[in-house]
Structure 1
């Protein structure tokens, strides 16, 4: 089954009614205990029940049951959700809040009627074009690499940031988050690596075969981390495969309600990696890691153009679900893999006599439950003082494109992180998600701070003496 085999999404009224009923059934599992409230970032800011998980679930239940209109006021409270899933981790009844929000946004996308010329429609159209033409086709992001490297090396970036030519536009916000643009690591025998190599052979005793998931934005803005992951794995004895057919994980599309594109990207990644005999499929961005781990988990309302095919196929050959489950079972965050990897006895790490504050991304903490691995990994560095960043139970406000879509909510969340960092006295901030790293890193640069935001695996590679 190829992604292009999927039919167009044509939902009938009866199918929409069925989807609403399935979403409503999940919403009704909430017992309104309120244990989620103190864990919700937006509730702590607004103190509004409508901006709490319990309140959003009540609104969703009302809309799906026809008691509440699906209007812009409803959309405001749903769109304010960061999908950090802290509430899901705290829920005693295990309500699947992440899928509930994703399916509600999908319903909003297909049913909400915005007037022509509405700013929200124009904004959605532009974002949709970017997601469709760049995010869903990350090879085009690779093509931007030489242009951005010239932009940075020529002095244009420094001039632009000093002049403020972009003003207060979304483009200015995005440009401010742009870190140093690195190039893909070269494998042996490659002099000028302009693209990722399909295989990076192990050094020394071979211990396994792993795949590396590049992602979309990360392959452009976080190549340093991806390079570090490859070279550390090679040094420990693991051959790293980087299939060129891989694509975006689909998280941005799924969280914005575009389940069909998310499913197409899922199928493409499954096909790219499952054809290799791998021990694990590793991701350096925990946000992508969550999406990869949840491939094969059916939402309670499948896209109508997929539902009958998935059901028929599952009854016959399992062509959809079995490959997805096989893929998900091998998807592991790089920190978790390295924490349990072999070969460390043969590696010497140089001392680093500095304090390292660890930021725990929501996706890593609340869904993957893998925060401890970053601490275990960094503890291998002699002389380093590794501490948790205060307020790790709250989101930083990045959340995909949330910092652009909801700046008034993202700003106080970022401010809290900056306050905690200043009080920490740390020289480094280690975080395992590229979106969080770019968001916090941008604020630190603007504040003139010397704190460096870095992925744990990058610090490990430096102390191994690996030149990136």
Structure 2
């Protein structure tokens, strides 16, 4: 109740009212749980506007578990009637998404979809999704050898030397398609650090259901995570997608689920990188700084590339507006936050944009103009590209 979270909250930044702040939402959640208020559309909208960025939880001196409160409250309310279930259903199924994406990127189809997107209302989630399609049918980010591969990670990579440990790499759903190059890069770096790596099947961790109020669907996904992890025989689950991390930790409590960047940073002395003279912009996603807490680890890894000038985007506003499915459900609010971030990117005058969250990169890239556009990629790809072969 102290209010220290208010300056950290991106929705309070947008609206400057208590109903759009963490403590305002906690008060509404408590009243809903007690039955003293009903879930009117206006009250629900304030709760649905929350990005789940967890910036409030990170600075809270009382250690209020806001993230769990948010998930439980949304489960109490159930899914919103405005939730784009069909679109989200496609995103949660990597094989279906990959196939539809390939068709959508055929020249004539792509041009037709672009025209269709222009006809759709500004608030249409389908318009947002179509606007995020890349202009060419390539794996997003990276250069040779990653962008040209277009393949998923191999099922198992084994170091010739005695392994440091056995980890399972969780690829997620959208990330397994749009960030396939980052999954390959993560494997390469982990093997170079001495790990045996098992690549798990691609499926949704349950985050979209958990944050959409679909508790049963989230639990089904959590059970799938547990089964896949046990079947891998690994002792640690890692992910290159920080947006999945909190959901994976709920599925596998006890510190089993980790950010691959933090794991690599602990063994950075085993990795040697070639120099690179380049100035790049670094976007730190909310999930990386507030949940994975691996932003300092990432900076240390990038600092090992001699000559690389890393310009980190300012923290405020704390969120770019992507926030999982938020950019689909509230595109105008998401675009306002995105524009703030993109002005920061332009001011830094860099050649590429690094961000570990594929949703953030899709969202930011969709808002770039031809004059301001720069390539975007996962920082693991840059690290793997500069990795010295043993």
Would the alpha carbon gap of residues 285 and 407 (structure 1) be closer, same or farther in structure 2, given more than 3 Å must change?
same
User: What is the deviation of 1:48?
Assistant: 1.0
Partner residue, 1:317: none
User: What is the deviation of 1:280?
Assistant: 2.4
1:332 aligns with 2:258: yes
1:103 aligns with 2:72: yes
Bigger shift: 45-54 or 389-398?
A: 389-398
1:172 aligns with 2:133: no
Partner residue, 1:148: 101
Would the alpha carbon gap of residues 73 and 148 (structure 1) be closer, same or farther in structure 2, given more than 3 Å must change?
closer
Give the TM-score normalised by structure 2.
Answer: 0.88
Which of 313, 321, 328 in structure 2 is aligned with 1:397? 321
Gap runs ≥5 in structure 1: 1-31, 111-119, 184-191, 296-323
User: What is the deviation of 1:134?
Assistant: 4.0
Which of 29, 51, 76 in structure 2 is aligned with 1:82? 51
Give the TM-score normalised by structure 1.
Answer: 0.74
Structure 1 segments, 4+ long, off by >6 Å, are none
1:124-180 residue CA offsets vs partner (Å, 9 max, x unmatched): 4x51x454x5455x3xx2244355335435454256437755534422210221345
Would the alpha carbon gap of residues 378 and 193 (structure 1) be closer, same or farther in structure 2, given more than 3 Å must change?
closer
Would the alpha carbon gap of residues 332 and 196 (structure 1) be closer, same or farther in structure 2, given more than 3 Å must change?
same
Gap runs ≥5 in structure 2: 141-148
SS at match of 1:83: coil
Which of these two proteins has the greater Rg computed from alpha carbons? 1
Which of 275, 280, 297 in structure 1 is aligned with 2:231? 275
Q: C-alpha separation between the residues in 1 aligned to 2:154 and 2:105?
A: 25
- The answer to whether the 8 A contact 2:240-2:260 is kept is yes
Q: C-alpha separation between the residues in 1 aligned to 2:276 and 2:221?
A: 40
Partner residue, 2:218: 262
Would the alpha carbon gap of residues 409 and 150 (structure 1) be closer, same or farther in structure 2, given more than 3 Å must change?
closer
Partner residue, 2:278: 354
Q: C-alpha separation between the residues in 1 aligned to 2:126 and 2:39?
A: 30
Would the alpha carbon gap of residues 431 and 342 (structure 1) be closer, same or farther in structure 2, given more than 3 Å must change?
closer
Partner residue, 2:193: 236
SS at match of 1:436: helix
Q: C-alpha separation between the residues in 2 aligned to 1:229 and 1:203?
A: 18
1:293 aligns with 2:216: no
Which of 349, 366, 369 in structure 2 is aligned with 1:425? 349
- The answer to whether the 8 A contact 1:391-1:417 is kept is no
User: What is the deviation of 1:287?
Assistant: 0.8
Partner residue, 2:3: 34
Partner residue, 1:454: 377
CA RMSD of aligned residues (A): 2.6
- The answer to whether the 8 A contact 1:400-1:435 is kept is yes
- The answer to whether the 8 A contact 2:162-2:194 is kept is yes
Q: C-alpha separation between the residues in 2 aligned to 1:230 and 1:268?
A: 22
Q: C-alpha separation between the residues in 2 aligned to 1:338 and 1:182?
A: 23
User: What is the deviation of 1:219?
Assistant: 0.8
Q: C-alpha separation between the residues in 1 aligned to 2:324 and 2:279?
A: 28
Q: C-alpha separation between the residues in 2 aligned to 1:158 and 1:374?
A: 38
